[in-house]
Amino acid sequence: MVVVRRLLLLGFLLLLATTGTAAATSNARMGIQDDAWLRWGPGTLDERLHTLDALGIKTVRFTLLWSDVATRKPAAAADPADPAYDWSQFDPVLRGLRAHAITPVITLYGSPRWANGGRGPNFLPRSGFGTFAYAASKRYPWVRLWTVWNEPNTRVFSVPVSPRIYTQRLLNTAYAWLHRASPANVVAGGVTSPRKTSSGMSPVDFIRGMHAARAKLDAYAANPYPSSRFETPTYSPCTECSTLTMARLADIRSLVTRTFGPKPLWLTEYGYQTSPPDPILGVSPARQAQYVGEAAFKVWQTPGVTMLIQFLVRDEPTLGGWQSGLFTKTGVAKPSRRAFSLPLVQQSRTVVWGQVRPGSGRRTYAIQRWTGHGWLTVGGIKRTASGGTFRTVVHVSQGTKIRLLAPQLGYASPLLVMR
């Protein structure tokens, strides 16, 4: 009887674990970041926001530049109405996102010259960051998700590269002031680059340094870019190193839990560049589309990972920038455009996972196979879970080409060849 009870208890705990995993990951926020395109892209702002709607985007990471808002030192820094503050560059985007029911994740970044001894915005401020964070929260009271700085483990974004100074002057200060502004605010720290640069620090060492400095945070944010174009979301040649990419998501999750406890993990920048136009750093457009789905599925599978942000909407205009957009620099859709809206991944021999991102509630979908003459629906029209995700069994032979069709959208995902 004791053995039976233990077996029943074990089964119950396994059921709880399984249920918890599904609940924790199926509702992860899948969003995008492209500050330049949002602020200055082609067409009107409302047209660009409608593009986000069509992609099924409900979360946008957006940078609020302290150095642009406060070129002069405010007398009452916690008051967003202080005449030294100029929010006009950022109001249209943040109010537009709100009007389209898109959740913003604001990154506070950029030190004004008066706060850092007359230097560039990547130099860490001596003071004033917390009151600016408070003023920003009061200016945009509907914003609840915040990240503090960007990639402070690299000299490109942070001088000096110091987890202690980052934690004390930026993270802990902003954490206190943002929670003072609203107890509903959620503050993520870290936002680390995945690798050590020649003048920077590995994310592993930076995380440990933050812990030693007694970092306060509600979530940890990381930018898990691949280490090269040969790395996939599921494979990395680096298994024991300090580079933390999507392929090592379980290691990132484990490190964050060991260091800070069971805090949510946000993946705040991620993407693959394409060739064309970049023959050195890019993968093929078809491969980029495949990786969009594989990364989303990996996040869905990993408990406690609650956000994945694609970078960018549209390729940057020069090869020196990033070509990781869902559209080319001239606005032509890549295969990843459809893969982002309708990711489809093979989970096992007969099971596929996918998501219909545009829409709300339970969406209709169909899996179709290529017959050699046309597309045939397999298993009839079905409905997703409330977050748009699904897993379904597909009885087809190896080598069969399938796709995800969302009838209400009028288009399908890129094809998937069953292995």
- pLDDT, tens digit, for every residue of 94-109? 999 999 999 999 999 9
Closest CA to 249 of 203, 188, 313, 283: 203
Residue 23 pLDDT grade (very low, low, confident, very high; cuts 50, 70, 90): very low
Closest CA to 152 of 211, 93, 118, 201: 201
Note the pLDDT tens digit of each residue in 317-329: 999 999 999 999 9
Cross-strand partners of 404:
367
Residue 241 pLDDT grade (very low, low, confident, very high; cuts 50, 70, 90): confident
Q: Look up the pTM and report it.
A: 0.93
CATH architecture classification, 24-341: Alpha-Beta Barrel (3.20)
pLDDT, position 2: 35
Q: What is the mean pLDDT of the chain?
A: 93
* Mean pLDDT to the nearest integer, 288-304: 97
Q: Is the pLDDT of residue 15 over 60?
A: no
DSSP, residue by residue, 64-81:
EEHHHH-SS--SSTT-TT
pLDDT, position 7: 34
Amino acid present at 351: V
Q: What tokens appear for 395 in the block?
A: 């009885």
* Mean pLDDT to the nearest integer, 37-60: 98
d(C-alpha 185, C-alpha 310), whole Å: 23
pLDDT, position 338: 98
d(C-alpha 44, C-alpha 53), whole Å: 14
Q: What tokens appear for 93 in the block?
A: 């985007």
d(C-alpha 299, C-alpha 303), whole Å: 8
Note the pLDDT tens digit of each residue in 331-341: 999 999 999 99
Residue 239 pLDDT grade (very low, low, confident, very high; cuts 50, 70, 90): confident
Angle 181-183-185 (CA atoms, 0-180°, nearest 5)? 80
pLDDT, position 9: 34
Q: Which residue has the tokens 């290529």?
A: 370
Q: What tokens appear for 223 in the block?
A: 């930018």
Q: Is the pLDDT of residue 60 over 60?
A: yes
For residue 34, the 8-state DSSP code is -
Q: Is the pLDDT of residue 8 over 80?
A: no
Q: Which long-range contacts (CB under 8 A, 24 or more apart) does 158-161 make?
A: 158/122, 158/124, 159/119, 159/120, 159/122, 159/123, 159/124, 160/124, 161/199, 161/200, 161/201, 161/206
pLDDT above 90 as % of the chain: 92
Note the pLDDT tens digit of each residue in 257-284: 999 999 999 999 999 999 999 999 999 9
Task: Indicate the pairing of strand 145-148 with strand 103-109.
Answer: parallel
d(C-alpha 189, C-alpha 163), whole Å: 11
pLDDT, position 26: 62
Closest CA to 415 of 381, 367, 377: 367
